[in-house]
């Protein structure tokens, strides 16, 4: 067998709904990362956040963009790790992102709207964001996200024939907010702080389950050619009676007046590499690619592949 294939039998399907659904708030909206360039840097992006991807990493960083910007990304998650469904179809996981940012009034005020979509054959997640960023003082910027979250489980023959599952509303939705700060310590050093899911968002199906609060701190050193970044993450909750903490590292190098870029990153879950090609002045188009390889929990996969397109005007 050339690819790793998982057969989802009736027993496994019942296990899914017996374990995942009661803990949907924990399983839902996992931290898979958003944006091709940030993930090429291992997710160390809180203190970088100088493009449309900032909406999910640090909205306050949107004040760094120089004009209107549109970005979109397409993802192939865990290539080679295919799930064979009850109807013998092969389930392919998708994770896609679109964001548009626009300065309003002055370059120091920016609004943005974003859409993130996770898709599989029987389960979907959607995240809608409205972001606002503003310069508060000369070196301090603030940002806010208003988020609408929605999950849906597609009805299958197993759900339709199970009396309990057939009566449950498997579509859940909630709203929450993120707050963030960006501090430009100097022309080359920046610091970022974020708080996500600060308002309770109940995504439970069988019982109340709130998305966990996440707090992040990042520092970055940036020049025209180089970016070095480090992030520290804390998530509310405990695993094996231990706090949930994380650390991310990222490096980026640009060549030919920022027309070609390469990057790499590392965190406790993944090792990553990425590259970009940019062209144009009045309308700058940038193509991005990132390869994310899991190093902690998922095996028998050829990693995840992310492809991105951005235009600045």
pTM value?
0.86
Residue 27 has pLDDT above 70, yes or no: no
Please give the DSSP secondary-structure letter assigned to residue 205.
Answer: S
Q: In the structure encoding, which two tokens stand for residue 192, read together?
A: 């970022």
Domains of the chain, residue spans: 4-312
What's the pLDDT at 88? Answer: 46
Question: Where does the chain show beta strands of DSSP type E?
Answer: 4-7, 69-76, 81-84, 90-91, 94-104, 106-119, 123-135, 140-153, 172-184, 189-196, 214-222, 226-239, 242-255, 260-267, 270-279, 284-294, 304-312
Label the pairing between strands 260-267 and 270-279: antiparallel
What's the pLDDT at 159? Answer: 66
- Using pLDDT thresholds of 50, 70 and 90, give the confidence band for residue 18: very low
Residue 251 has pLDDT above 60, yes or no: yes
**Residue reference for tokens 């626009």:** 102
pLDDT in tens, 71-99: 999 998 888 776 555 444 555 678 899 99
pLDDT in tens, 195-243: 999 999 988 777 788 899 999 999 999 999 999 999 999 999 887 788 8
What's the pLDDT at 15? Answer: 35
Q: In the structure encoding, which two tokens stand for residue 174, read together?
A: 């909630």
Residue 153 has pLDDT above 60, yes or no: yes
Residue 10 has pLDDT above 80, yes or no: no
Nearest to 288 by CA among 267, 269, 305: 305
> What is the rounded distance in angstroms from the CA atom of residue 224 to the CA atom of residue 18?
52
- CATH class of the domain comprising 4-312: mainly beta
Q: Which residue has the higher pLDDT, 205 or 246?
A: 246
């Amino acid at each position: 067998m050339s690819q790793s294939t998982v057969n989802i039998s009736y027993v496994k399907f019942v296990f899914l709904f017996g374990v995942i659904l009661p803990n949907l708030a924990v399983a839902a909206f996992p931290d898979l990362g958003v944006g091709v360039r940030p993930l090429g840097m291992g997710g160390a992006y809180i203190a970088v956040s100088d493009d449309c991807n900032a909406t999910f990493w640090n909205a306050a960083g949107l004040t760094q963009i120089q004009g209107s910007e549109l970005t979109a990304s397409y993802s192939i998650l865990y290539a080679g790790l295919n799930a064979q469904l009850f109807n013998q179809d092969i389930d392919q996981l998708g994770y896609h992102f679109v964001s548009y940012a626009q300065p309003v009034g002055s370059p120091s005020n920016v609004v943005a709207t974003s859409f993130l979509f996770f898709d599989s054959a029987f389960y979907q997640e959607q995240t809608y964001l409205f972001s606002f960023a503003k310069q508060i003082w000369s070196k301090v910027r603030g940002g806010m996200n208003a988020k609408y979250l929605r999950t849906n489980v597609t009805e299958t023959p197993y759900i339709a024939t199970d009396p309990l599952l057939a009566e449950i509303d498997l579509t859940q939705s909630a709203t929450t907010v993120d707050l963030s700060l960006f501090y430009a310590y100097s022309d080359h050093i920046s610091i970022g702080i974020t708080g996500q899911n600060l308002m309770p968002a109940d995504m439970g199906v069988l019982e109340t389950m709130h998305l966990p609060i996440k707090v992040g701190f990042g520092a970055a050193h940036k020049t025209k050619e180089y970016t070095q970044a480090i992030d520290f993450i804390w998530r509310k909750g405990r695993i094996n009676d231990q706090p949930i903490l994380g650390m991310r590292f990222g490096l980026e190098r640009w060549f030919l007046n920022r027309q070609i870029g390469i990057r790499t990153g590392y965190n406790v879950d993944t090792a990553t590499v990425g590259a970009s090609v940019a062209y144009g002045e009045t309308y700058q188009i940038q193509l991005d690619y990132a390869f994310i390889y899991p190093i902690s929990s998922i095996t028998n996969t050829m990693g995840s592949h992310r492809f991105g397109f951005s235009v600045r005007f």
